[in-house]
Amino acid sequence: MPATVPTKLKANLRVQRFDPESERPETFYQDYEVEVEDWFTVLDALIKIREEIDGTLSLRCACRASICGSCAMRVNGQAKLVCKTKLDSVWSPGETVIIDPPGNMPVITDLVADFKPFWDKIRQVQPYLQPTGPEPVAEYLAPNEDMVHLAGVMNCIMCGACVSDCTVLEVDDRFIGPAALAKAYRFVADPRDGKKKERLEALNGDTGIWDCTRCMQCVEVCPKDVAPMERIMVMRDQAIEEGFSGTVGARHTESVYNSVKRSGRLNETRLAIESVGVMNIPGQLAMAPVGVRALLKGKMPSPIDHKIPSKDAVKKIVEKSEETSK
Amino acid sequence: MYEHDVLIIGAGLAGLRAAVEAEKLGLNTAVLSKVHPVRSHSCAAQGGINAALTDRGDVWEDHAYDTVKGSDFLGDQDAIEVMAREAGDDLIELEHMGVIFSREKSGRLEARAFGGQRVPRTFFVGAITGSAMLHVLYEQAIKHDVRVYEEWFVTSLIIEEGVCHGAIAFNMHTGEMETIRAKSVIMAAGGAGRVFEPSTNALICTGDGLALAWNAGVSMMDMEMVQYHPTTLAGNGILLSEAARGEGAHLLNSEGDRFMERYAPEFMELASRDVVSRAEQTEINEGRSINGNVLLDLRHLGKTFIEERLGYLQEVAVEFRGIDLSEHPIEIRPGVHYIMGGIKTNVDGATVVPGLYAAGECANVSVHGGNRLGANSLLDTIVFGRRSATAAAEYIKSVDSAGRSEEHLDAEKARIQALLDRPKGIRWAAIRNELATSMTEGIGVYRDQASMEGADAKVDEMRAKYSQVSVENKGKVFNTDLIFTLELDYMIDVAKTITQGALMRKESRGAHSRTDMPDRDDKNWLKHTHVFKDGDGVRTETSDVTITQWQPVERVY
């Protein structure tokens, strides 16, 4: 009887390459076919390429266990920690899996990105505990619930996946970004830190918490469930509570809230005017051309509220939520 | 040329703790690491950090004795006393820096039980204690504005007239080699777990610091003491923390028995790691295994408890095995995890080479002796990282200059260029994998003369083959192909010191368990083994263990 020879599974990977030392440095894709086992992660496949097929392929990786944060890169267009991404979750036989370096960062070579801008932003949020008052002889007393809550943020391994796929950073690289803001939250929410108000004041400025567009990408791609966007939203609430209401973002939030409470729907004209600030004459003038164009095209919503029929029901919902959040 | 008072090689917990101390002491401080500090392997420590907090009734002498017993009486008791005595203050300092240690209802720090200790004294952050500490120490490094040579690789130490004056290194981003002169160097470059395959260690744990110091003339002490952790995943070797057993998980064989009853009736699953690993290996060898594994069972702990206190373990189990720990036991086996042996230092981190200090896993003070207790490694990094910086600060007061010569740089440049210029030959990966697999075979949980000689011969064979290794990538920018080739050189050196140390010790003690010499021999072997570099070969010696208050007794758990 002829023996059946098990055929080895072969995966196709298309990997972005970049050699800054070549005569004409530009990125290109290189295809690799590599024998894989059914338990392989994407990292296992990349390591096999590096060790057995092409020693010139550069990438960062260390722990292989999703804790060092070295190996974030894009797999089929989405940022992932490749050591914890099973190959069969992103690839099936016959297909090609595409590997790119993380986005929103300069590329040094191949899959290796320059994290300097990333760390510069972490530094920007004064990322160290700043207690005020006398230091206790023993430990600070703190509720365990707070520590467990903070562990959700300390879970961050600074892999850069959130920064890679942040849609705001894609258009405005001044935005502090999801990783640094999550790091900031780690201090804002730490009962031992004495600079909560100062931190919120700083984050309330341009390029801070109000620049997030709530696209959810960072929450989606974070391999450690840190949920940066949710932390940013909490800091927005806290900034307003601390009295930092003089921002477009805070006024926008207030205007949406009042409009819905009043009429059950969003009054877009008033929202625009109130967000910029009613007394902000230069701001209003800057917005005027948009208004005029909208008016001419018949797209200017009426500044007068059109109440929806069930506005009383909406009002009740608002009142109920105000009660419960007290 | 760069110049500093102190150059710290390695940016894990020991390196960063040393750096923060050196900055506080006003030294011109620099840290150099081949990876960004937070990628250092300290991040992978899971279970916790030990300390006897005297304000709640614990006694540092008890911690010290548990450590002495854990070490199978090979640890130097003066060093263990220092570590146990200073642990409390260091722990509180970490808390003040911002580590989010778990709390009791009262808001005070909470401890969990850990292996080989009679009372709970392991302080923790879920199952990410190392990561939580490393990120906080990096925060402190930012606060103190520590200079970091980030993604730089050291090729040799500068030793002039027997004194250490810095290092030659290259910037991985540019490939440019530089002289970094320093009045003192603290080696904090971590362990060498990749000398074995499989291993819980990161791919970066290639023993660079050990080999650098060894080549500078320092003894590698007790290198045969390689810790096999009892709970690792087969295949990739990924670690599942001892915290699981600390929190009450059971070990089961294929017959469903809690087999530790037969090996350690009192401590059960929380006996010392060497004891538990041997028990597992015996079960496996005697056929009571599941695919060469035994089972770690957490089901009775409940899902909520597991996810809050052992969340990272659940993540690993789900991601790498598709197993929910609250529903199924997980297959585990002993795997290489830590090297107790290392660069011989005194209690201040000083080596025999003036100006060269060492701390953390690459050092051997020796506080772990033949077997390290879980959660004593984080403590070791903090206590001796700090102490080595203090000692270096004192030492440099007597050093006028770290010299100006660039001749070392020229020699190193030529050596690396020659490596790059080699004709097409063997890939580094082939040698590395053969070396590491052979080491696990020869220097296993159990070993004997023949297995150790086999590993030793294999190391020599790999050393010979290394001369045919060629570097495929000829570029300068982030040339990982070159890095791995240089690391392999270090690994072969470290492997040789391990096999030589193992062949010296004619008894079984701690992690060194010889089937051909199964008994501990206190009469002849209450001694440290030393392996020195000697030309192209090695020279070996022994020295006495320091005993202060605890005479060796039979070790029963």
The residue of chain A with its CA nearest to that of B232 is A65
Ranges A295-304, B36-45, B167-176: which has the least confidence: A295-304
Q: Which domains does chain B have, with CATH numbers?
A: 229-333 (3.90.700.10)
At B424-440, the pLDDT tens digits run: 999 999 999 999 999 99
Are A252 and A184 within one domain?
A: no
Instruction: Note whether residue A280 is domain-resident.
Output: yes
Mean pLDDT, residues A139-166: 97
Mean pLDDT, residues B257-286: 97
Q: What is the pLDDT of residue A307?
A: 80
The Cα A241–Cα A237 span in angstroms is: 6
Instruction: Note whether residue A4 is domain-resident.
Output: no
Selected for mutation to probe chain A from B319, B331, B427 (highest A CB count within 10 Å) is: B319
Domain that residue A68 falls in: 9-113
Closest CA to B9 of B131, B135, B158: B158
Instruction: Note whether residue A3 is domain-resident.
Output: no
Catalytic residue among B112, B273, B386, B514: B273
**A59/B contact by beta carbon, under 8 A:** yes
Q: Which residues of B521-532 are buried (b: 16+ CB within 10 A; e: fewer)?
A: eeeebbbbbbbb
Of A108, A115, A144, the CB nearest to B36: A115
**A129/B contact by beta carbon, under 8 A:** yes
Are B512 and B368 in contact by the 8 Å Cβ rule? The answer is no
Q: Which of the listed residues A58, A83, A113 is the one where a domain comes to its end?
A: A113
At A50-82, the pLDDT tens digits run: 999 999 999 999 999 999 999 999 999 999 999
Is the predicted pLDDT of residue B269 greater than 50, yes or no?
Answer: yes
Instruction: Note whether residue A2 is domain-resident.
Output: no
Mean pLDDT, residues A218-233: 98
Is the predicted pLDDT of residue A303 greater than 80, yes or no?
Answer: no
Pairing between β-strand B2-9 and β-strand B29-33 as defined by DSSP bridges: parallel
Is the predicted pLDDT of residue A292 greater than 70, yes or no?
Answer: yes
B515/A253: higher pLDDT: B515
Are A22 and A95 within one domain?
A: yes
Are A44 and A76 within one domain?
A: yes
Instruction: Note whether residue A180 is domain-resident.
Output: yes
Q: Which of the listed residues A212, A241, A270 is the one where a domain comes to its end?
A: A241
Task: Locate A17 and state its tokens.
Answer: 């390459």
The Cα A216–Cα A235 span in angstroms is: 16
Is the predicted pLDDT of residue A1 greater than 80, yes or no?
Answer: no
**A70/B contact by beta carbon, under 8 A:** yes
Instruction: Note whether residue A44 is domain-resident.
Output: yes
Closest CA to B250 of B203, B280, B304, B295: B295
Are A236 and A120 within one domain?
A: yes
Share of chain A above pLDDT 70, in %: 98
Mean pLDDT, residues A298-317: 82
- Number of separate domains in chain A: 3
CATH number at residue A38: 3.10.20.30
Q: What is the pLDDT of residue A276?
A: 87
pTM of the complete model: 0.95
**B471/A contact by beta carbon, under 8 A:** yes
The Cα A110–Cα B33 span in angstroms is: 21
Task: Locate A89 and state its tokens.
Answer: 């979750």
The Cα B516–Cα A310 span in angstroms is: 87
At B155-195, the pLDDT tens digits run: 999 999 999 999 999 999 999 999 999 999 999 999 999 99
At B540-549, the pLDDT tens digits run: 999 999 999 9
Active-site annotation holds for B273: yes
Residues of chain A numbered 257-276 and touching chain B (CB < 8 Å): none
Q: What is the pLDDT of residue A301?
A: 79
End-to-end CA distance of chain A: 79
Is the predicted pLDDT of residue A186 greater than 80, yes or no?
Answer: yes
**A65/B contact by beta carbon, under 8 A:** yes
Q: Which of the listed residues A113, A145, A172 is the one where a domain comes to its end?
A: A113
Q: What is the pLDDT of residue B332?
A: 96
At B305-357, the pLDDT tens digits run: 999 899 999 999 998 888 999 999 999 999 999 999 999 999 999 999 999 99
Is the predicted pLDDT of residue A14 greater than 50, yes or no?
Answer: yes
At A69-128, the pLDDT tens digits run: 999 999 999 999 999 999 999 999 999 999 999 999 999 999 999 999 999 999 999 999
The Cα A214–Cα A166 span in angstroms is: 10
Are A63 and A156 within one domain?
A: no
At B385-407, the pLDDT tens digits run: 999 999 999 999 999 988 888 89
Mean pLDDT, residues B228-240: 93
Are A120 and A109 within one domain?
A: no
Are A105 and A132 within one domain?
A: no
Mean pLDDT, residues A137-159: 97
Are A205 and A280 within one domain?
A: no
Mean pLDDT, residues B368-392: 98
Is the predicted pLDDT of residue A222 greater than 90, yes or no?
Answer: yes
Instruction: Note whether residue A1 is domain-resident.
Output: no
Q: Which residues contact B286 (CB under 8 A, 6 or more apart)?
A: none
**Please, which pLDDT band fits residue A5 given cuts at 50, 70 and 90?**
low
